[in-house]
Amino acid sequence: MIMTPANPVCFLLVDDREENLLALEALLRREGLVLQKVCSGPDALEVLLKHEVALAFIDVQMPGMDGFELAELMRGAERTRRVPIIFLTAENADQQRRFRGYEAGAVDFLHKPLEPDILKSKAEVFFELACQRQEVIRQRDALQIVNEENARLLKESRQYAQALKETVRRKDEFLAILSHELRNPLAPIRNAVQILNRQGLDDATVQAARNLIERQSQHMVRLVDDLLDASRIARGKLELRREVVALAAVVEQAVEMAQPHIKSAGHDLTLLLPPQPLFLDADPARLAQVISNLLQNACKYTEKGGRIWLAAKRAGSDVVVSVKDTGIGISPEHLSQLFEMFSQMESSFQRSQGGLGIGLSLVKGLVEMHGGTVEARSEGFGKGSEFIVRLPVIPVPQAPLSESGDDSKAAAAHRILLADDHMGCAESLALLLRLHGNEVEMAHDGFEAVEAAERYRPSVVLLDIGMPKLNGYEACRRIREQAWGKDMVIVAMTGWGQEEDRRRSKEAGFNGHLLKPVDYAALEEFLASTA
């Protein structure tokens, strides 16, 4: 079988006579073979240092350094000691000279004049050996690459399995915490309802039960809102409503949001703001949510009566907002995981405070959406912690920002059609609307809502989107198609509040878009604007 090497095979031809070299070259020439021709021993050594030689044909009788001396030098060097040698000689070597030649590494002796067939056959053997050696090396290298790739994949799979195991563990722990946190406010709400069902209660007891229900309901709404925000950020569906906003106004709103937590824990809050006004291109509600979450986090992990500092300063083209506390601190190994979803610190103190472990993940997502960064610092447990937010500032606006005064008006009485398939939501909101002097008719599916709108002719329609038989979008379109429905005020009530959802409701003909659970203050403000 004729073999073709992957790389050229190199033979070395050493003879002091040029015509002998040319004759050897003519006999040995073939595809895949490179012949290096030299006329002396020193030149041969130079070639051997530069090339991987598969076979050397060496003339015995050469001036200066003869063939035996060259072979002995080759055997003394690590690089060339295994190169096979065929000696070429014009004399019949005696036994002593042959012994010297074989001891120097010769595999054969060929006598001049050379027999072409014998020369070619011996050369062919070593050529094929060189090809096979190349193939063995190639397969060995390929196997090495495969082994290295397999080792890498095995390492990555183990790391992935470990990360997946950790994610599943944290997810299971999160679900357990979520169940616990959602049940917590339900117990006091149920107790308050039982209290209100009793006869002969004094006004103070009734008011206390109402306040309890209000607080716990707001807590549940915050939990659900955090879950929805985290999901929207993860899916890239949360959109910011940017505007030019003063940092001081955002901080004021955040402190107001966190004040009940600060007050209930008896913490001392120190506020340090720069004297010069700083402005941001930001969503004020989301930015206030970031700072409020950090303040509430400081409250949660600081024992009662601790200290919290909220500071802001200009740093080049950024504003740096930091929230520092005297709380339980953070271990170095936990710092790297602090902003990951479902991450929670293991401590009995933390467990007593509750929480879903997604607040800091929300902070990171919202800050990065604003083009900023957030980092956590702590010297360890018991030494407090500090969270630092960096956000880009913008130049001071040419015109002063408008300030909204407290010019809200009480909503005038309305004829309202309330359509919602959830009986509890419909009945409770209808009761609330009636207590504020409105007339209310209810419907519980899309077809019923269209029929009731034609019969009742309300001034305002509060329309749930996800209703059976006919959804809210289609119900709104059918009402708008009628002459009597063109001027009705129709408001969407839904749990979906992204820009795409608002666009769809606007295209369907809605005048407004309220998120469930409906904030009655926002509903009342909307009704007042339609009076």
Question: Tens of pLDDT along 303-324?
Answer: 988 999 999 999 999 999 999 9
Q: Token pair 């209660």 is at which residue? A: 201
In this prediction, residue 175 carries a pLDDT of 67
Same domain, yes or no: 250 and 373: yes
Same domain, yes or no: 380 and 344: yes
Q: Which of 47, 79, 114 is the last residue of a domain?
A: 114
Question: Tens of pLDDT along 450-462?
Answer: 999 999 999 999 9
Same domain, yes or no: 335 and 386: yes
- Tell me which amino acid residue 335 is: L
List the domain range (segments joined by +) for residue 292: 243-392
pLDDT of 1 above 60 = no
What percent of the chain lies above the pLDDT cut of 70?
A: 90
Residue 170 covered by a domain: no
Question: Tens of pLDDT along 53-72?
Answer: 999 999 998 998 999 999 99
Residue 159 covered by a domain: no
State whether residue 496 is helix, strand or coil.
Answer: coil
Question: Tens of pLDDT along 485-512?
Answer: 999 999 998 877 777 888 899 999 999 9
Question: Tens of pLDDT along 88-108?
Answer: 988 776 777 788 888 887 889
Question: Tens of pLDDT along 179-196?
Answer: 656 666 777 788 888 888
Structural domain total, the chain = 3
CATH code for the domain in which residue 52 is found: 3.40.50.2300
In this prediction, residue 101 carries a pLDDT of 83
Same domain, yes or no: 437 and 338: no
Same domain, yes or no: 289 and 419: no
Same domain, yes or no: 448 and 377: no
Residue 253 covered by a domain: yes
State whether residue 205 is helix, strand or coil.
Answer: helix
Residue 25 covered by a domain: yes
Same domain, yes or no: 425 and 382: no
Distance CA 160, CA 154 (A): 10
Q: Which of 114, 146, 165 is the last residue of a domain?
A: 114
Same domain, yes or no: 254 and 368: yes
Residue 347 covered by a domain: yes
In this prediction, residue 501 carries a pLDDT of 82
Distance CA 344, CA 335 (A): 11
In 3D space, the residue among 100, 102, 63 whose CA is nearest the CA of residue 84 turns out to be: 102
Overall average pLDDT of the 136-145 stretch:
90
Distance CA 275, CA 257 (A): 23
Same domain, yes or no: 378 and 420: no
Residue 380 covered by a domain: yes
State whether residue 5 is helix, strand or coil.
Answer: coil
Same domain, yes or no: 253 and 374: yes
Same domain, yes or no: 480 and 442: yes
Residue 354: left (phi > 0), alpha (psi -120 to 50), or beta? Answer: left
Q: Which of 47, 82, 114 is the last residue of a domain?
A: 114
Tell me the pairing of strands 243-246 and 279-282.
antiparallel
Residue 387 covered by a domain: yes
Same domain, yes or no: 249 and 388: yes
CA distances, 461 to each of 90, 440, 458, 526 (Å): 117, 10, 7, 12
Average pLDDT score, the chain: 85
pTM: 0.48
Residue 285 covered by a domain: yes
